[in-house]
Amino acid sequence: MTTIKFFAYLTEKVSPEGKVNASHCRTVGDLRDRISSEFPEIASDLYRCMIAINMEFKQDTDELPETIDEIAVIPPVSGG
C-alpha cells in the first residue's frame, strides 16, 4: 500500500491522507482508475486533478516508477 495525499476541497470528501494499492498499475492513468475505485467519493473530481508521484507531476500516459513513496492528488486551484 502506498500513501496518497489529497488536497484542497478533496479533503472535505475524503480524509487528507489514505492508502492505495498501486501494485497492478502500469501508468498514471491506471492509477487514476484505481484511485477512483478505492475512493468513489471523489471519482467524478479526478479527471480535473493533477497527480504527482514522488513530488513530480505526471501525465496519464506516463509509466509509473518502480518505487512509489508518495502519491498526491491536487485539484485545480484559483485565487488572486
**pLDDT tens digits, one per residue of 10-19:** 999 999 999 9
Angle CA(45)–CA(50)–CA(52) in degrees, nearest 5?
A: 130
pLDDT given at position 10: 96
pLDDT-based confidence at residue 79 (cuts at 50, 70, 90): low
Closest CA relative to residue 48, chosen from 72, 71, 22, 74 = 74
Torsional sign, CA 57, 31, 43, 15: negative
Q: Does domain 2-74 have CATH number 3.10.20.30?
A: yes
C-alpha cell at 21: 494499492
The domains of the chain are located at 2-74
pLDDT given at position 78: 72
- pLDDT digits over 30-76, tens only? 999 999 999 999 999 999 999 999 999 999 999 999 999 999 999 99
Is residue 77 predicted with pLDDT exceeding 90? Answer: no
